[in-house]
């Protein structure tokens, strides 16, 4: 299934339940932003506070994000009636989704820390009064670009973990992460293209002072849920064929 078909399905699903979808996604966004604001308190120890803030945010937001995935899957699959209360339906797997989010966060943080140390080693001690050479600036830029690409790659390979955990609540955290990596084999570039296909919509949202995000947010999220459903079904078919052989 091509990405334009995935987006078309998402638009149709959104049209059928516009009020419910917009309201639920808006509520989830508000809740996550409230958590962000509540934890956004200045502190003298910036590094320690940043770490505690990130962990605190994951602690509260992880089950809400999983609940949002449950709502989106109900919209896509039609097996259950989607409800706003779906947002709060995944606190029974709170520890799993929090642990999973924490592992990914720690891994990405370590990558960022290593990159900062590398860049710091390339900079002169008195960087403010020293003129950097073109080659040094280019090298630092290339390192930052490589790290950004790698972090985005991590986001892609683990992009399906919440959907998997919501559907297979008995699965272990590490197994869920492995399953997401396996599921995304051969589909990473397709997922990437799906994400960048919404850039125009996000730019348009800026010109509407954010009003368009009320529609673009659920639209893009439904497209991602449809992507998961398609890739899952393809993987099931492939596994079935292997079992027959």
Return the higher-pLDDT residue of 236 and 191: 191
Give residue-wise pLDDT tens across range 2-52: 899 999 999 999 998 999 999 999 999 998 888 766 655 545 556 566 677
Whole-angstrom Cα distance, residue 145 to residue 83?
41
125 pLDDT more than 70:
no
For residue 85, the model assigns a pLDDT of 95
Give the mean pLDDT of the chain: 88
Distance (Å, whole) CA 22 – CA 212: 11
Q: What is the pLDDT of residues 76-109, one digit of tens each?
A: 998 899 999 999 999 999 999 999 999 998 998 8
Predicted confidence (pLDDT) at residue 1 exceeds the cutoff of 90? no
Looking at residue 93, the DSSP 8-state letter turns out to be G
Q: Supply the DSSP symbol for 82.
A: -
Q: What distance in Å separates the CA atoms of residue 239 and residue 237, rounded to the nearest whole number?
A: 5
pLDDT in tens, 156-186: 999 999 999 999 999 999 999 999 999 999 9
Q: pLDDT at residue 126 above 80?
A: no
Query: Is the confidence at residue 230, as pLDDT, over 90?
Result: yes
Assigned token pair, 26: 């808006």
């Amino acid at each position: 299934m091509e990405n334009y078909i995935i987006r078309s399905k998402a638009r149709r699903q959104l049209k059928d339940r516009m009020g419910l979808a917009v309201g639920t996604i808006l509520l989830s966004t508000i809740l996550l932003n409230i958590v962000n604001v509540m934890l956004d308190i200045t502190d003298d120890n910036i590094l320690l506070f940043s770490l505690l803030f990130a962990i605190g945010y994951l602690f509260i937001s992880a089950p809400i994000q999983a609940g949002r995935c449950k709502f989106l899957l109900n919209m896509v699959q039609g097996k259950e009636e989607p409800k706003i209360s779906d947002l709060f339906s995944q606190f029974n797997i709170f520890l799993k989704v929090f642990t999973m989010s924490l592992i990914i966060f720690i891994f990405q943080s370590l990558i960022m820390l290593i990159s900062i140390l590398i860049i710091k080693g390339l900079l002169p001690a008195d960087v403010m009064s020293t003129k950097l050479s073109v080659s040094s600036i280019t090298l630092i830029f290339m390192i930052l670009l490589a790290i950004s690409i790698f972090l985005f790659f991590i986001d892609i390979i683990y992009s399906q973990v919440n959907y998997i955990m919501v559907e297979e609540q008995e699965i272990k955290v590490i197994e869920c992460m492995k399953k997401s990596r396996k599921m995304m084999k051969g589909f990473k570039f397709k997922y990437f293209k799906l994400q960048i296909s919404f850039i125009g919509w996000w730019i348009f949202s800026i010109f509407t002072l954010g009003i368009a995000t009320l529609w673009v947010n659920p639209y893009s999220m439904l497209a991602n849920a449809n992507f998961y459903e398609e890739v899952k079904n393809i993987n099931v078919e492939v596994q079935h064929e292997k079992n027959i052989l």
